[in-house]
Each structure stands twice: as C-alpha cells, then as structure tokens.
Amino acid sequence: MKLSRRLIPDVTTLQAFECAARHGSFTQAAHELNLTQSAVSRQIKDLEEQLGVLLFERVRQRVILSEDGRRFLPEVRRLLHQTEETMLRAMSSARSEHSLSIATLPTFGSRWLTPRLPAFLAQYPGTILNIASRSAPFDFEEQNFDLAIHYGQPVWARAACSYLCSEVILPAASPELLREWQLGEPRDLEAAPLLHLATRPKLWAQWFELNGGTTDTAYRGHRFDQFSMVIEAAVAGLGFALLPRYLIEQELASGRLAVIFDRPMQTENSYYLVVPEGKLENSLSQAFRSWITTQVS
C-alpha cells in the first residue's frame, strides 16, 4: 500500500500537540519537551494547516482544545502509544536471535500461562517474549502479534484457530463464608451472595438449571469484568463464585478458597491458540503451539 507522505504526520509534532493539550499551555509543553515556546507554537500551527482545522482556542493565558482538537486527541495518544510500543518491542528483541509476541486473556495470562513460561524458555533459551493482554479478537495486521490465546468460538479473521481445551467451572468461596452459610445442597446458594463475571452474566443461571435450582435470584450480586477480580472478591469473602479450577490452583492449595459442591459445569466456549495467516510457518510459533498443547493436556 502506497501512503501519501503529505498525510503522514511528524511524530514530534504530534508530541507537541498532545503535551500542549495535557497542560493547556504552550509554555509548559515547551518546558517538558525542552523546546522554546515559539517552536511548540509553530509545530501546532503547521499541524493545524496540515489538517485544515483549528485545534486550540486561545483564552487569556491558556490554550483550550477546540471541538476538533478534542476529537483528534484520543487518536493522537493511541498513535503515540503504538509508536512507543513498537520501538520498545524492537529494542527488546534486537539482541535476541528469537522473539515471540503473544496476546493473551488477562487472567489466563497472569495465573496460568506466566508461571509455566520458564519451562518453555528452558527448551528455547535466548527467546525474548512480549506478552500483552487482549480480551477480544483484534486485527493482526494492525497489532503485530505472532499468536493469540482466545476464549470463544474458533472464528478469527485472517487467522487459524487451534483447539487448546474446554473450560470447566466450579462454585467456590472462602472458608469463612462457607462457615457462615452452612450450605447443604446446591439450591441453598439461591439465597446466598453471588459474584458474577460481567462478560458472562448467565453462568449462575445455567449452573442452577443443571443442579436443580431456580434462576429467580441467579442474576443478583456483585459484578466484575475480569476473572482475576472475581477471584480476589471470593477470597475476600464478598460472595460465592463460579470459577475455572485451573485459575484458582494456588488458592485451593493454600486453603484461601474451597470448592463448595463438586458439581462442575462445562462452558459453551473453549480456548484456542490463534495464529495469523502470514505466520503459520513461523518455527517458534509452531514450537510454542506444541509446547502449550502438552501443558493443557
């Protein structure tokens, strides 16, 4: 794809704009960037002329973003962040013969994958890993990852999905909460405080249906958008949670959490390793796929 050089902004100019917007002052932006106030003002003027819009309004001794400036700022910050991330990733792997960039679900990455990575690196010494959290599918052409770990259905544009494992969840709680409630059967949980994963709001209702309960009260309780927060809430005694056993191995071993009823439920989706079409022949990606398959088995 051929890009028009006229439409590609100078990074230092975008930095000047972001800094001036953050401070509401060209003078303070100049101080942070180690430039003169006139240099920052000139960069902003050049950017405004390139865009054909007014980015700032001058009010007394301050500059305030215009409506166009407010719309432009989030995109500039995203671009600057991606530029910095690209440079840091390149610098981190510059001295390495091999590098691998992996996008993973946040809690899966921190609680299951990361503790096992030393075993992978022992087999492939000299490899530099770049691990980042991603909760939903993304465009591999826009975000340069070698592979991703995905929970859902095996559908991802311009990529191949390999099955890793299904997910089985169990009801768990802190020992203190269990002593307080003295549960005898699954339906006793209907009156208990429940914890929910916001992205999967029907889990408790499905579990009650499988275990002879009703769904009348299955949706009430505290909600969290990550499994890691649900786990910490359960440890703190805020309520009862439906959690994958593999994510709470440490809590179960230490006694900070206990399984309430041995009534596992398999969720409707599974975990997949996703590789972009252009990197299917990457030898290190293939090695990681083989390794992680042995780990989940």
CATH number at residue 292: 3.40.190.10
End residue of a domain, out of 27, 57, 92: 92
Per-residue HEC secondary structure of the chain comes to: CCCCHHHCCCHHHHHHHHHHHHHCCHHHHHHHHCCCHHHHHHHHHHHHHHHCCCCEEEECCEEEECHHHHHHHHHHHHHHHHHHHHHHHHHHCCCCCEEEEEEECHHHHHHHHHHHHHHHHHHCCCEEEEEEECCCCCCCCCCCCCEEEEEECCCCCCEEEEEEEEEEEEEEECHHHHHHHCCCCHHHHHHCCEEEECCCCCHHHHHHHHCCCCCCCCCCCEEECCHHHHHHHHHCCCCEEEEEHHHCHHHHHHCCCEECCCCCEEEEEEEEEEEEHHHCCCHHHHHHHHHHHHHHC
Q: Both 262 and 281 in a single domain?
A: no
End residue of a domain, out of 92, 107, 123: 92
* Buried b / exposed e along 85-98 (16+ C-beta atoms within 10 A): eeeebeeebeeeee
Q: Both 20 and 150 in a single domain?
A: no
Q: Both 178 and 248 in a single domain?
A: yes
Residues spanned by the domain of 108: 98-165+270-296
Per-residue pLDDT of the chain (297 residues; tens, 9 = 90+): 454 566 677 889 999 999 999 999 999 999 999 999 999 999 999 999 989 999 999 887 788 999 999 999 999 999 898 888 777 766 655 554 588 999 999 999 999 999 999 999 999 998 999 999 999 999 998 888 999 999 999 999 999 999 999 999 999 999 999 999 989 999 899 899 999 999 999 999 999 999 987 888 899 999 999 999 999 999 999 999 999 999 999 999 999 999 999 999 999 999 999 999 989 999 999 999 999 999 987
Separation of alpha carbons 129 and 271, rounded Å = 21
Torsion angle in degrees (nearest 10) through CA of 249, 252, 257, 259:
100
Structural domain count of the chain: 3
Q: Both 259 and 171 in a single domain?
A: yes
